[in-house]
Amino acid sequence: MKNGIALSIIPQIIIVKSLGSYPELIENYYSKGLYLFISHFYRKAFGWLPLSIGDLIYAILIIFAIWYIIVKRNQIRKNLKLFFRDIVLILSVAYFTFHLMWGLNYYRVPLYQTLELKDTYTTNELIMYTEKLIERTNKLQYEITLDTAQIVNIPYDQKEIFQMTLEGYGELEIRYPFFNYKNPSLKKSIFSTLLTYMGYGGYLNPFTNEAQVNSKIPNFRFPVITGHEIGHQIGYSAENEVNFIGYLVTANNKDLYFKYSAAAYALSYSLSELKLRDEEKFRELYTRLNRGVQKNYKELNEFWLAYENPFEPVFKSIFNTFLKANNQEEGIKSYGLIVTLLVTYDLKYPSE
């Protein structure tokens, strides 16, 4: 029985990869069908609890695994084949559960097709968009502070930001019904310190459908990260897509601080992409930023630098491999592909 479950991981992988060739099938019958039922059920079950059940389960499993290896080390040495069989068995069950509960969303129809956007853009279009973003970000920064050199400090606590993000999804749903978000299950991760050392702003627990947000993230970035993790909850797996959804819901919020957070977020990605394509133009445009905006970027950069450690590249490498194994060919670089969605969306809706 155990051997059969362990070996079943092979046909599972074949089936998942085969289904991945039919994104319309995944979109209509899983992402817009079975997944909606599963996600709503688990968000209703766990969303009302203040603590993350998923985080607690992970903590218990990690402690149990360490305890088992220490206590059973002699038995493991004597039966290495059985030990490795049991590891494969656990992986097989996890693989099945992961794809049933959430993972098949990696193979759904790409968001750019759903929004009827182009999938390419020119460097000139990027420059025009970046200039537009600089003007918008500077304007919002000044409207908030009345001083171009003053850093923007978002005055809301994280609980308030959670609530305002939910309201933002309500507004966004009016235009795009497929961004519907009901039965919220949004929590600060008990692993926030660990997530920071790993270099992550949050994650979705695919087994409990709880959105975990890193509570240590500066408020300057917190609204977009919150929108990003909810994007995962509503069934979007690709990192560039949930980055865009996080931007879109924050940018469409009525609050000026949220609008500023979104504009500065999109600008950071467009400037990064421009630096790769035309460094001289990047330098020119960066000097146009208000000093207050630059201070916000410096604040965020210093935050991450304070948690730099030798293990972060290892964590990033593991996640990079995970993403590539789940239909994201660019791996961790896929986060930056948000620029394609940002630029082409602006081309389609230039007044927004």
- pLDDT tens per residue across span 224-280: 999 999 999 999 999 999 999 999 999 999 999 999 999 999 999 999 999 989 999
What backbone phi and psi angles, to 5 degrees, belong to 147? Answer: -155, 115
DSSP state of 49: -
Determine phi and psi for 130, rounding to 5 degrees. Answer: -65, -40
Residue 327 has pLDDT above 80, yes or no: no
Distance CA 325, CA 319 (A): 10
**Closest among 18, 42, 95, 96 to 322, alpha carbons compared:** 95
Cα–Cα distance for residue pair 347/341, rounded to 1 Å: 10
With bands split at pLDDT 50, 70 and 90, how would you rate the model's confidence at 47? very high
Beta strands of the chain (E only): which ranges?
A: 186-188, 202-205, 210-213
Q: How many helices (H) and strands (E) does the chain have?
A: 18, 3
pTM of the model: 0.93
pLDDT at position 206 over 60: yes
- 335 pLDDT above the threshold of 80: no
Closest to 107 in 3D by CA, of 336, 326, 319:
326
- At 184, the pLDDT band (50, 70, 90 cuts) reads very high
Q: What is the pLDDT of residues 279-308, one digit of tens each?
A: 999 999 999 999 999 999 999 999 999 998
Q: How far is CA 96 from the centre of its chain?
A: 22
In this prediction, residue 336 carries a pLDDT of: 62
Cα separation, 143 vs 147, whole angstroms: 8
Burial class (CB in 10 A: 0-12, 13-18, 19+), 77: exposed
